[in-house]
Amino acid sequence: MWLNRILSWLTLLISLIIACFIPFYTATSIMLILSSKELLGITLNLFLLFIEEIGFLYAFYLFYMISGALTFHQQSTIPSYTFTNKPHFTVIVPSHGTPFSILRKTLEGVIKLDYTNFDIIVSDNWQDSLVTQQLKEFCNHNQIQFYHKKDSRGFKAGNINAVLEKVSGEFVVILDSDHIPVPNLLTEFSKAMINENIGYVQAKVAYRNTKKLYQAANSILYSQFYEIIEAAKDSRGVVLFNGTTGCFRKKVLLEANGFSEETLIEDIDTSIKILSNGHQGRYLNFIGSYGLVPESAKKQVSQLWRWTHGACTIMRLRTRSILTSSNLGWNKKFELLLNVFAFFAGICTIFFVCTLAMMVVTNIPLIRGELFGINLGLIMPTLVGIAYVFAAILAIFWESREQHFFVRVLYLIPFLLFSLGAFLFLISGMIEGFLLKNTPTSEKSIWNRNLPLIRNSILVLCLCGLLFGIGFLGMTQSNEDQMILASYVIGGAVGWILAPLMLLKEELFSPKIDE
């Protein structure tokens, strides 16, 4: 479509303008800040400038991804090639604590795949004997290989690696225990893997439990990942595996020493290792499975905590190997680093608002240049907000849903508000990830951290109240510049309230959880 083409060029242009603007803005801002004679003002402004740089990089990344996604959705087609001799696939379903009723639906879906040359392996590391026995009996009855791992070391990666030597197929398909595959999944994988340079492919995932407002809103997060990020990465061959509904060449996995057991997001870490070895990751624009969105805000925050921890661990462990890889061009290296940088960038919004609040309290001005009478220091949050909302709207437009487009757009409001507040609960994940604490190599590590949500939610609400009070007092001043800073502080305080309120409601009233 001509509109896609125009928007693609426009968003690419915006990303390039941001890239050129960053060094100019940084240099001029530093000179202005250092011209001040107040030490506290210099310190706060330099710290805020550092946060702004992170935000500008994230805005550049988002617009760059949007441009690539627009191009992808304009011309993407599913490969039409079919193997003369159907290759052998091994479908691995790792299980850890998934209710048997859900596992059964997944395995029944795998059994019904319209492909003849494949086998199934279930690898279970749950210590509940009843679930394990039910699963084992089902597997034996349906000629599925069953393996029970007696410990949870390595978490999901260790669970998969424990059965890699049992894989008889040329290709390995990873399917989460709550994802029901579509019948033609292996057929489409067989078409895509004809190119020997492709190490793995990732199919799109849709979700079947989005009837509640909370679940429908948070499903936008997953749609953004597939419809924007993965679609944009396809042309450069740097698509990332997202933990389920992906297909790997067995030899490529073995070359990477199996799935990474060093981080809590083994899917992204393994992708980076394979890409660094010179192979490609590609994206298939068709729904390969139907999974489950976390059924509560508590589980969503726990999952986000794990992703944040894993991303920061990857930044600590893989930055050097990414930069020194001879198989990656500079653009791919930069893109991979920015990808794991995303959660860190989100958490920086907290420091941005809190720093502005300190400047309001101490009556310290935001020392930046001006354009048309507007302080340039306020451009970054506005730019990031526009990019994020635009990406979400495009993802909603491209995704396959029964709900009307405009109904889904309305879900953006609770989605954005919950996301903003959730970042406050992820700071410990960021710190522990950088410090390499709670990694799968630790005997005391935990897969999804059960955070003290009642205490943390009360602390967050107290912080919101404090910031709102600071912002309100700042709005009463006669200084127009300080009033603008105060309005941003109030906006941050109000935007963070929804997540702690939802979490408190769940923790105090214990709602019934649907399977």
Taking all residues of the chain, what is their mean pLDDT, rounded to a whole number?
A: 89
- Cα separation, 341 vs 348, in Å, equals 11
Q: Which of 282, 280, 274, 308 is nearest to 423 (CA)?
A: 308
**What is the reported pLDDT for 145?**
94
Give the domain CATH number at 144: 3.90.550.10
Q: Per the domain annotation, does 81 fall within a domain?
A: no
Could you list the residue range(s) of the whole structural domain that residue 317 is in? 89-332
Residues 189 and 302 in one domain: yes
Structure tokens at 377: 């220091």
Residues 311 and 354 in one domain: no
Q: Per the domain annotation, does 222 fall within a domain?
A: yes
Q: How confident is the model at residue 211 (pLDDT cuts 50, 70, 90)?
A: confident
- Cα separation, 186 vs 134, in Å, equals 27
Of 7-11, 164-168, 334-338, 368-372, minimum mean pLDDT range: 368-372
**What is the reported pLDDT for 243?**
92
Residues 32 and 93 in one domain: no
**What is the reported pLDDT for 231?**
94
Residues 231 and 122 in one domain: yes
Helix, strand or coil for residue 287? strand
**Domain-ending residue, one of 332, 357, 390:** 332
Residues 403 and 498 in one domain: yes
360 versus 442: the higher-pLDDT residue is: 360
**What is the reported pLDDT for 129?**
74
Structure tokens at 223: 């749609």
Sheet containing 246-249: give its strands across. Answer: 145-148, 118-124, 89-95, 171-174, 246-249, 198-207, 280-291, 180-181
Residues 357 and 318 in one domain: no
Mean pLDDT of 415-440: 89
| Model confidence at 80: pLDDT above 60 | no
**What is the reported pLDDT for 514?**
46
- Cα separation, 313 vs 315, in Å, equals 5
Q: Per the domain annotation, does 83 fall within a domain?
A: no
Tally of domains in the chain:
2
- What are the angstrom distances between the C-alpha of 86 and each of 120, 144, 288, 395, 473? 16, 20, 19, 34, 70
In tens, the pLDDT along 96-120 reads 878 889 999 999 999 999 998 999 9
Helix, strand or coil for residue 331? helix
Residues 301 and 414 in one domain: no
Q: How confident is the model at residue 445 (pLDDT cuts 50, 70, 90)?
A: low
Residues 292 and 402 in one domain: no
**What is the reported pLDDT for 43?**
95
- Cα separation, 183 vs 201, in Å, equals 17
Mean pLDDT of 449-475: 91
Q: Which ranges of 261-378 would DSSP assign to H, the alpha helix? A: 266-276, 297-324, 330-340, 342-361
In tens, the pLDDT along 392-405 reads 999 999 887 767 88
Q: Is the pTM of this model over 0.85?
A: yes
| Model confidence at 318: pLDDT above 70 | yes
**What is the reported pLDDT for 21?**
94
Q: Per the domain annotation, does 514 fall within a domain?
A: no
| Contact assessment for residue 284 and residue 76, using Cβ atoms and an 8 Å cutoff | no
**What is the reported pLDDT for 76?**
57
Residues 465 and 398 in one domain: yes
Helix, strand or coil for residue 249? strand
**What is the reported pLDDT for 209?**
76
| Contact assessment for residue 347 and residue 421, using Cβ atoms and an 8 Å cutoff | no
In tens, the pLDDT along 268-314 reads 999 999 999 999 999 999 999 999 888 888 888 998 999 999 999 99
**What is the reported pLDDT for 20?**
94
Tokens 């649907």 correspond to 514
In tens, the pLDDT along 484-505 reads 899 999 999 999 999 999 999 9
156 versus 450: the higher-pLDDT residue is: 156
Residues 354 and 480 in one domain: yes
**What is the reported pLDDT for 77?**
59
| Model confidence at 515: pLDDT above 50 | no
154 versus 450: the higher-pLDDT residue is: 154
| Model confidence at 35: pLDDT above 70 | yes
Mean pLDDT of 197-217: 85
**Domain-ending residue, one of 332, 359, 393:** 332
What share of the chain in percent tops pLDDT 70? 95
| Contact assessment for residue 126 and residue 132, using Cβ atoms and an 8 Å cutoff | yes
Q: Which residues contact 497 (CB under 8 A, 6 or more apart)?
A: 417, 421, 461, 464
- Cα separation, 241 vs 189, in Å, equals 14
Q: What is the dihedral of CA 252, 254, 260, 261, to 10 degrees?
A: 170
**Domain-ending residue, one of 298, 332, 366:** 332
DSSP letters spanning 190-215: HHHTTSTTEEEEEEEEEES---SHHH
Residues 129 and 259 in one domain: yes
| Model confidence at 170: pLDDT above 50 | yes
In tens, the pLDDT along 38-75 reads 999 999 999 999 999 999 999 999 999 999 999 998 87
Mean pLDDT of 188-214: 87
- What are the angstrom distances between the C-alpha of 259 and each of 181, 266, 293? 22, 6, 24
- Cα separation, 204 vs 284, in Å, equals 7
User: H/E element holding 186?
Assistant: helix 185-192
Residues 318 and 368 in one domain: no
Q: Per the domain annotation, does 80 fall within a domain?
A: no
Mean pLDDT of 1-17: 90
